[in-house]
Amino acid sequence: MFHHLARFILKRRFLLISLLFLFTLYMGWMATKVKLSYKPAPLLPKTDSILVQNEMFSKLFGKGENIMVIGVTDSLFFEKDNLSSWFALEKNLKNKDGVENIFSITDIITLAKDTLTKKFVAQKLFASSNLPESDSLSRLVNSLPFYEGLLYNSETHTYLMLITLNRELITKVNRIRIINGILDECKVYEKNTGNQLHYSGLPYIRAVVAEMIKFEMFLFVALAVLATSLILYFLFRSFRIIFISLVVVGTSVIWSLGSLTLLGYDLTLLTAVVPPLLIIIGVPNCIYLINKYHHEIAHHKNKMRALFRVIYRIGSATFLTNLTTALGFVTFVFTKTQILREFGLVAFLNILGIFVISLIIIPFFFSITPLPKQRHLKHLNRTTFKQAISRIVMTVYYKRKWVFVVTVVTIVFGLVGASMLKANGYMVDDVPRNHPVQRDLKFFERHFTGIMPLEIVLNTGRPNGFQNYSNYQKIDRLQKELEKYPELSKPFSIVELAKFARQAYYNGNKKQYRLPGPFERAFIMSYIPRSIGVSDMYAKMVDSTGQYMRIMYNVADVGSQQMGVLFDSINNDIQQVFGSDSKNVSITGASVVTSYGIKYLVHSLTSSLFLAILLIAIAIAWLFRKFKMVLFAIGINFIPLILTAATMGYFGINLKPSTVIVFSIALGIAVDNSIHFLTKYRQELYWTGFNVKESIFHAIRETGISMIYTSIVLLFGFSVFIASSFGGTKSLGLLVAITLLYAVVTNLFVLPSILRQFDKPKPSKPSVDEEIVLEMSSGFDDEI
């Protein structure tokens, strides 16, 4: 097939380069339309029962995804000047575009009992312009335990402001402008008071992350270009080679961004990695093709014949290496997580695209440029690399037993380390620990036990079932049981509102803040009308039919492993309190969805690794037609994966979505070296009369240099991701680089040793040596 392809490309190279140029212009135009993603991307599939249940309860009670939280610690908060600044901040924020509502400590409501109408009258504690002295005001606030742990922490003097943003605007590019407008007003408050404000909430976190994604995509493209250019110059000492390679990878970057628009995808944390990834993966393509071209020119100095052999001999191997790399990504398409499916499909298509790009651009450029000068071919005989190749050959020939001993010991060492791996992820896992988002998140955890919602919903089984007093008693008992968990905040429920009403009924006596008795409840709760401010909270505690009752908690970001233990313990407490009715009680909320989403994703990505192994094995079997070659290529590259797992185990790097993804990607890339080596080895077998020893020597001599070159590029290329602010991107770069380092060692030493020891090919005459037939055809060079 590839001899026909080589002839087609060389004969029609001007037409192909013109079509490529026009298509790239079109993709560049489409790339200008790429948009950043501002919408949440759930980790669970849409049909998952946990996600479906959470969506159902969100429709009943409303979502909290449009609330931004501002917090401050101030022991002098109720001093006149500081309180005035807080009032001014709230007033100015209310006038900001996109802000729908604000609720803070200065908006709290007290209930006054009206014995004539038998109703509570809602009164704003801070309504009067003539406020009492700060000490009195502080005592008034602290006398309302209903708000303790929700809007303030009396022990640490920390206070919150909850800002409800327009749900439509915060899913669009306007989100950045809205958030920046809020932050600008907050800076004025900080300047006037000297207090530092802390920010959190999903709108704020997503806005910050989106801006980081956009910045890092350009950063990594620049770093990848710089790193690969320096390495290419060091290896080839040719600006022409650098230029050709950058044209190849630059074209692929344009295609990748254009494909996002064509597919209707936005730029996410994962898809933003694709452009620099293509630079890193595309340069090895260029190295193999250029290195082969230089080998041929050094041998016979016939440009067109050299290019023909480049496409024919290396093209097939390059196609398979690109295919296996792409297969490492395409397995993500078979997961049910949208963000992974988008990443997998975009990467798969563009990795195959870069094969097409390199196979058109590189032969075209070399066909219209002069033959490389002798100084450009010096890298083929560079003493350092020649000595390294000689040592590899000597080791394979005469020290194979030591290679096998070291390999076995390494595998055992690796399996021990891999057994220490733990699966654990966090809800805000990608943002680094020293980033303001993480620091502020820890601030809210210290003072309010976090901001991640965890909700418990009781289905009473009938409309207005919330009026059944036994349900109040059970919820109160459950809340008392859950007080033992330091990960949980104070609850927010209709039971707490009932306690607040009882305190108000007894003239605000703080000691009376407890659940009304069975005889008190009916007339105390009847005092709360549905039209006053505080009773609007009913909508968050009880659905419109009165059938569902909700207990709202905030939970600390303690990791998916500990979160799973916490959920199990809460379920046990629910069963003890509700008995046979526990089947009507559900645990839900963003923390539950995220925690189970992390577990689902780890399981799904583990399955995708096995699928990647199967697909890559099929691709290798298609090329070599020998099961033994499949075992060699796949088996050898299991060793780097085991060692990477061991590295994670020994250094305490958890198994989570951002680290599990590494194995499929690394396997697809690592197996490339095996394919190139085995392809050359198989070709040499025919030329040497099935002399294994001589075939291995020639294979190492020609592909060994390219393997070292490409490994250097990949190692330093993936290392640029270590500069990321995102833990997931940093893990991707570091662990893939480590895996590829292990892979080049095993492919240079272990694979040839296994072939030397165990491969006993039987001489068999090939049906047709297509290359000899084509190259002996009369007028071959003239025809092209």
CATH of the domain at 704: 1.20.1640.10
The 10s digit of each residue's pLDDT in 563-600 is 888 999 999 999 999 998 889 999 988 888 888 887 88
Please state, as a whole number, how many other Cβ atoms lie within 10 Å of the Cβ of residue 5: 15
Contact 67, 540 (CB under 8 A): no
Please state, as a whole number, how many other Cβ atoms lie within 10 Å of the Cβ of residue 153: 19
274 and 166 share one domain: no
The 10s digit of each residue's pLDDT in 111-158 is 887 777 777 777 787 765 556 666 777 888 888 888 888 889 988 999
Task: Say which range, 69-83, 464-478, 601-615, 633-647, has the weakest mean pLDDT.
Answer: 601-615
The pTM of the whole model exceeds 0.85: no
Flag whether pLDDT at 535 surpasses 50.
no
H-helix or E-strand containing 456? strand 452-459
Contact 597, 42 (CB under 8 A): yes
The reported pLDDT for the residue numbered 598 is 78
For the chain, the C-alpha Rg in angstroms (whole number) is 33
Axis crossing angle, helix 627-636 with helix 751-758, rounded to the nearest 10: 150
In angstroms, rounded to a whole number, what is the distance separating the alpha carbons of residues 755 and 464? Answer: 76
Longest dimension (CA), the chain: 113
Residue with tokens 């703080």: 510
pLDDT band at 480 (very low <50, low <70, confident <90, very high): very high
Q: Which is higher by pLDDT, 171 or 184?
A: 184
Q: Which is higher by pLDDT, 567 or 770?
A: 567
Q: Look at residues 185, 207, 229 and tell me which one is the last residue of a structural domain.
A: 207
Flag whether pLDDT at 41 surpasses 70.
no
- With 0-12 / 13-18 / 19 or more C-beta atoms within 10 angstroms meaning exposed / middle / buried, residue 171 is middle
For every residue of 719-746, DSSP letters joined together read HGGGG-SSHHHHHHHHHHHHHHHHHHHI
The reported pLDDT for the residue numbered 1 is 67
The reported pLDDT for the residue numbered 427 is 66
Contact 282, 248 (CB under 8 A): yes
Coil, strand, or helix at residue 125? coil
Contact 20, 361 (CB under 8 A): yes
**Six-digit token pair at 18?**
């013109």
Is 775 a domain residue? no
Coil, strand, or helix at residue 530? coil
Is 726 a domain residue? yes
Single-letter amino acid, residue 236: F
DSSP 747: I
In angstroms, rounded to a whole number, what is the distance separating the alpha carbons of residues 414 and 646? Answer: 5
Contact 111, 500 (CB under 8 A): yes
In the Cβ-directed half-sphere of 323, how many Cα atoms lie within 13 Å? 17
Task: Say which range, 43-52, 205-214, 416-425, 534-543, has the weakest mean pLDDT.
Answer: 534-543
The b-or-e profile of 93-103 (16+ CB within 10 A means b, else e) is beebebbeebb
200 and 259 share one domain: no
Give the CA angle between residues 92, 97, 99 to the nearest 5°.
Answer: 70
pLDDT band at 776 (very low <50, low <70, confident <90, very high): very low
Residues 6+ apart with CB under 8 A from 679: 316, 317, 320, 623
Axis crossing angle, helix 400-418 with helix 383-398, rounded to the nearest 10: 90
3 and 88 share one domain: no
Is 527 a domain residue? yes
Range list of H helices, 463-512: 469-482, 494-505
Is 409 a domain residue? yes
In the Cβ-directed half-sphere of 228, how many Cα atoms lie within 13 Å? 33
DSSP 148: B
Q: Give the range of the structural domain holding residue 657, as residue numbers without chain letter.
A: 391-419+626-764
The reported pLDDT for the residue numbered 360 is 93
Characterise 68 by phi-psi region: left (phi > 0), alpha (psi -120 to 50), beta (else). beta
343 and 412 share one domain: no
Is 57 a domain residue? no
412 and 453 share one domain: no
The reported pLDDT for the residue numbered 197 is 95
Residue with tokens 């407008």: 181
For every residue of 284-322, DSSP letters joined together read HHHHHHHHHHHHHHHHH--HHHHHHHIIIIIHHHHHHHH
195 and 320 share one domain: no
The reported pLDDT for the residue numbered 531 is 43
Please state, as a whole number, how many other Cβ atoms lie within 10 Å of the Cβ of residue 588: 22
Q: Which is higher by pLDDT, 458 or 175?
A: 458
397 and 372 share one domain: no
The reported pLDDT for the residue numbered 589 is 84
Contact 389, 704 (CB under 8 A): yes
pLDDT band at 537 (very low <50, low <70, confident <90, very high): low
H-helix or E-strand containing 163? strand 158-165
pLDDT band at 768 (very low <50, low <70, confident <90, very high): very low
The reported pLDDT for the residue numbered 697 is 85
Q: Look at residues 357, 381, 405 and tell me which one is the last residue of a structural domain.
A: 381
Residue with tokens 């908060």: 77
Compute the average pLDDT of residues 399-420. 91
Compute the average pLDDT of residues 276-294. 85
**Six-digit token pair at 211?**
């801006």
92 and 196 share one domain: yes
Compute the average pLDDT of residues 761-768. 52
In angstroms, rounded to a whole number, what is the distance separating the alpha carbons of residues 296 and 350? Answer: 29
In angstroms, rounded to a whole number, what is the distance separating the alpha carbons of residues 592 and 585? Answer: 14
244 and 371 share one domain: yes
In angstroms, rounded to a whole number, what is the distance separating the alpha carbons of residues 591 and 634? Answer: 39
DSSP 372: P
Q: Which is higher by pLDDT, 129 or 405?
A: 405
Contact 159, 151 (CB under 8 A): yes
Percent of the chain predicted with pLDDT > 90: 18
The reported pLDDT for the residue numbered 429 is 64
The reported pLDDT for the residue numbered 770 is 41
The reported pLDDT for the residue numbered 134 is 66
Q: Which is higher by pLDDT, 692 or 624?
A: 692
Averaged pLDDT of the chain: 82
CATH of the domain at 545: 3.30.70
In angstroms, rounded to a whole number, what is the distance separating the alpha carbons of residues 266 and 38? Answer: 9
Single-letter amino acid, residue 586: S
Measuring CA to CA, which residue among 399, 424, 417 is closest to residue 643? 417
Quote the number of domains for the chain.
Answer: 4
Flag whether pLDDT at 457 surpasses 80.
yes
Flag whether pLDDT at 106 surpasses 70.
yes
**Six-digit token pair at 306?**
């050299």
In angstroms, rounded to a whole number, what is the distance separating the alpha carbons of residues 715 and 202? Answer: 36
The b-or-e profile of 671-698 (16+ CB within 10 A means b, else e) is bbbbbbbbbbbbbbbbeeebebeebbbb
In angstroms, rounded to a whole number, what is the distance separating the alpha carbons of residues 114 and 435? Answer: 51
Flag whether pLDDT at 548 surpasses 50.
yes
**Six-digit token pair at 261?**
């628009």
pLDDT band at 194 (very low <50, low <70, confident <90, very high): very high
461 and 576 share one domain: yes
**Six-digit token pair at 718?**
């993936």
The 10s digit of each residue's pLDDT in 9-23 is 889 999 999 999 999
pLDDT band at 428 (very low <50, low <70, confident <90, very high): low
In angstroms, rounded to a whole number, what is the distance separating the alpha carbons of residues 496 and 779? Answer: 93
pLDDT band at 189 (very low <50, low <70, confident <90, very high): very high
Is 444 a domain residue? no
Contact 451, 200 (CB under 8 A): yes
pLDDT band at 262 (very low <50, low <70, confident <90, very high): very high
Number of residues assigned to the chain? 784
362 and 456 share one domain: no
Main-chain phi, psi angles of 73, to 5 degrees: -110, 120
Main-chain phi, psi angles of 267, to 5 degrees: -80, 115
Compute the average pLDDT of residues 484-490. 89
The b-or-e profile of 351-376 (16+ CB within 10 A means b, else e) is bbbbbbbbbbbbbbbbbeeeebeeeb
Measuring CA to CA, which residue among 621, 9, 695, 34 is closest to residue 342? 34
Is 603 a domain residue? no
Q: Which is higher by pLDDT, 201 or 537?
A: 201
The reported pLDDT for the residue numbered 711 is 82
In angstroms, rounded to a whole number, what is the distance separating the alpha carbons of residues 638 and 626? Answer: 19
Is 126 a domain residue? yes
566 and 684 share one domain: no
Residues 6+ apart with CB under 8 A from 773: none
Residue with tokens 């927010």: 492
In angstroms, rounded to a whole number, what is the distance separating the alpha carbons of residues 307 and 297? Answer: 9
> How far, CA to CA in Å, does 729 sit from each of 277, 638, 689?
11, 23, 48
Residues 6+ apart with CB under 8 A from 440: 71, 198, 199, 200
**Six-digit token pair at 692?**
């294994």
In angstroms, rounded to a whole number, what is the distance separating the alpha carbons of residues 62 and 146? Answer: 21
For every residue of 545-590, DSSP letters joined together read TS-EEEEEEEE----HHHHHHHHHHHHHHHHHHHGGGGGGEEEESH
Give the CA angle between residues 509, 515, 519 to the nearest 5°.
Answer: 100
Q: Look at residues 381, 403, 428 and tell me which one is the last residue of a structural domain.
A: 381
Contact 499, 568 (CB under 8 A): no
